[in-house]
Amino acid sequence: MQMSIVPLLTLQNATVRRPTGLVLQHIDWTLKTGEHWAVLGPTSSGKSSFLDTLSGRLPVSGGHYTHPVGVLRDMVEQVANDYQFDRQVASSARYYQQRFNADSAGESPTVWEVLQHRIKPTGTVNEHSVSLPPPAYSEEWLAEVAGWVHITHLLDRHLTSLSNGETRRTLLARSLLRRPKILLLDNPFGGLDTSSRERLHGILNRIAAEDTTLVLVTTPRELPDCITHVVELTDGQISWQGARDERPSGPESAPETLTDPTLLQRWLNTSAIPFEYAVRMQDVTVSYGEKVVLDSIDWAVRRGEKWAVLGPNGSGKSTLLSLITADNPQSYRNDFVLFDRKRGTGESIWDIKRNIGFVSPELHLYFPREQPVWKVVASGLFDTAGLFRKLTTEQADQLNFMLDLLRIQHLRDKRLAQLSTGEQRWVLLARALTKNPPLLVLDEPCQNLDPPHIARFRDLVDELCQSSERTLLYVSHYAEEIPACVTQVLRLDAGKGTIENRY
């Protein structure tokens, strides 16, 4: 007997607003049983707002949103992108460097406690003084889901000690445990290595086969086999929708033209501090308790070299970078040189940071969202999470130059929270570049950018690094995102490092 096709969720001429204005308009779309949808579109097209509307986080201000009674409360689950799903978890994850500080990281709940809803209030001293509910799920069900997303080995780890990819898998497990009928995912493949992406494809295909309906924001290169339909958004409106096999296969959007050559040349001509080695590590080891994260790393980066740092999730990449950006206190325990100066010989962390432009998904996660864009970008001049001083005329000129260089002057007065995820990432890229540092440390800088912006940024990095004075460390899980200027590779696996030539 053939299963009847029933509408689950329907948007009819729907208009959706955020405090900053319209984000979706004239949306006509229906989700039916047996369908699994991918939501595609360029940066700032309204994809995340589309999911937020389906989950009920954003109300429809015009038109209609029709769904069976109780669906949004009991059946629709939107996978969290960060710690903000729970106030207690968010309050325990207080600052970016916390994950690299063993004592502070231990103040956050474990993965098991988060998944079982047994989170002690922040600052609890006597565990017996706190009354917690029983575990939310059976250990058998938790073990099964943890196995699906490959986090069994993480259940006893503290949440803020996890890598970006490990965190995303944990948040997916949190939603899967609830056995939702409709699962909404926003860029679930971002931050995952090749094997983790392949595993997630398998997980989503399995979930779809077990009577859970999927709607996910993704990119054309990451469409799970289970996806049956595609809706494409442009400027908050549907530009195409239909069956996946009917989607036009036209060419990818062409990369945007790079910035004004005159502006770029002015940026390139700024002189850098003199040094022979940007980084020199000898037998560097980092461990937390019995867990060895970096194991006897020998690595030297000479001035002007361009490196990719590659490896699977949890291999030690972020910990390695945290040593370089002066965010990890274990640098003082090791034979470790930055800019020809051994760590621990009287330099401050600000002496180091002023020579480094840095961006990462974790920095994005912790950065204050209420700052206007111009303050976010200007804070890169001082390596602070926000602007807390008045700019000089010269510093204001540097700020405006960077806004012009990356073509984000039109975002200047908007708060970071008002921007799309892709726009926020672009602003943080500007922050990393604004002081024109001799060393660029770019940790997955293209995460959540659409293909044209990825191509534009990759090519821009090539332009920025054409100078023999510029040193680059670049992390990505996609080979096609790595700039052409990169010639050497440090590959990490389980804390061990091997050095390769890219070509």
Instruction: Give the orientation angle of helix 194-209 with respect to helix 164-176, to 10 degrees.
Output: 10
Q: Cα separation of 295 and 287, whole Å?
A: 8
User: Which sign, positive or negative, has the C-alpha torsion 387, 372, 410, 380?
Assistant: positive
pLDDT of residue 409: 92
Residue 1 pLDDT exceeds 50: no
Three-class secondary structure of residue 296 per DSSP: strand
Decide if 491 contacts 290 (C-beta within 8 A). Answer: no
Instruction: Tell which wins on pLDDT, 313 or 430.
Output: 430
The C-alpha angle with vertex 220 and arms to 217 and 224, in degrees rounded to 5, equals 70
- Does the pLDDT of residue 258 top 60, yes or no? no
Q: CA–CA separation, 351 vs 337, rounded Å?
A: 13
- DSSP track, 447-474: TT--HHHHHHHHHHHHHHT-STT-EEEE
Lowest mean pLDDT of 124-133, 241-250, 300-309, 439-448, name the range.
124-133
Provide the angle, in degrees to the nearest 10, between the axes of the packed helices 451-464 and 421-433.
0
306-310 and 237-243 strand pairing = unpaired
Phi-psi category of residue 494: left, alpha or beta, with phi > 0 → left and psi -120 to 50 → alpha: left
| Whole-number pLDDT of residue 182 | 93
Task: Record the tokens describing residue 371, joined without a space.
Answer: 């700052």
pLDDT at position 91, please? 57
From residue 258, alpha-carbon distances to 197, 266, 358 in Å are 31, 15, 21
DSSP state of 416: G
Average pLDDT, the chain: 85
Whether the per-residue pLDDT at 503 is higher than 70: the answer is no
Which of 76-90, 376-390, 447-461 bottoms out in mean pLDDT, i.e. has the lowest? 76-90
Biggest CA–CA distance in the chain, Å, is 77
Model pLDDT, residue 256: 54
Laid out side by side, the sheet with 21-32 consists of 21-32, 7-18, 60-66
3-state helix vs strand vs coil in the chain, percent to 5: 35, 25, 40
Domains, the chain, ordered by start: 7-246 (3.40.50.300), 261-501 (3.40.50.300)
Token pair 């960060």: residue: 82
Least confident range of 150-164, 252-266, 327-341, 439-453: 252-266
Q: Which residue has the higher pLDDT, 483 or 120?
A: 483
As a whole number, mean pLDDT of residues 133-155 equals 92
Instruction: Give SS3 for 363.
Output: helix
Segment 355-377 mean pLDDT? 88
Look up residue 350 and give its amino acid. W
Tokens 């196995």, residue? 147
Residue 252 is given by DSSP the state P
Helical spans, DSSP H, in 101-162: 102-105, 111-115, 139-148
- Under the banding of pLDDT at 50, 70 and 90, the label for residue 260 is low
Please give the Cα distance from 51 to 171 (Å, whole number): 16
Q: Could you read off the pLDDT of 289-322 as tens digits, one per residue?
A: 788 889 999 999 999 999 999 998 888 898 899 8
pLDDT digits (tens, 9 = 90+) for 23-67: 999 999 999 999 999 999 988 899 999 999 999 999 999 999 988
pLDDT tier, 73 (very low <50, low <70, confident <90, very high otherwise): low
Q: Give CA–CA dist 490/472, Å, rounded.
A: 12
What is d(CA 462, CA 43) in angstroms, rounded to the nearest whole number?
22
- At residue 161, the pLDDT reads 76
Assess contact for 22 and 58: CB atoms under 8 A: no
- pTM value is 0.80
Higher pLDDT, 495 or 130: 495
Token reading at 87: 């106030």
d(CA 316, CA 495): 5
Torsion, CA 9, CA 11, CA 15, CA 17, rounded to 10: 10
What pLDDT does residue 366 have? 76
Residue 346 or 92, more confident: 346
Output the pLDDT for position 95: 46
Mean pLDDT of 134-148: 93
From the list 444, 448, 431, the residue with the least C-alpha distance to 368 is 431
**pLDDT of amino acid 72:** 62
pLDDT, greater one: 113 or 386? 113
Task: Dig out the tokens for 383 from the structure.
Answer: 């390596």
Q: List Cα–Cα distances, 58 to 17, 52, 63, 292, 501, in angstroms.
A: 8, 5, 14, 44, 49
Higher pLDDT, 308 or 84: 308
CA atoms within 13 Å, Cβ hemisphere of 240: 15
Whether 439 has a pLDDT exceeding 90, the answer reads: yes
Q: Which residue has the tokens 């909404």?
A: 184
**Residue that the structure tokens 């022979």 belong to:** 276
Among 63-77, 112-126, 127-141, which range has the highest average pLDDT?
127-141
CA–CA separation, 245 and 235 (whole Å): 24
Q: Give mean pLDDT, residues 206-225.
A: 91
Q: Do 219 and 25 touch, CB atoms closer than 8 A?
A: no
Count H helices and E strands in the chain, helices first: 16, 19
Note the pLDDT tens digit of each residue in 95-109.
444 555 545 545 678
pLDDT exceeds 70 at position 406? yes
Helix/strand/coil (H/E/C) assignment for every residue in 53-84 = HHHCCCCEEEEEEECCCCHHHHCEEECCCCHH
Examine the pLDDT at 215 and tell me if it is beyond 60. yes
Contact 80, 267 (CB under 8 A): no
Residues in the chain: 503
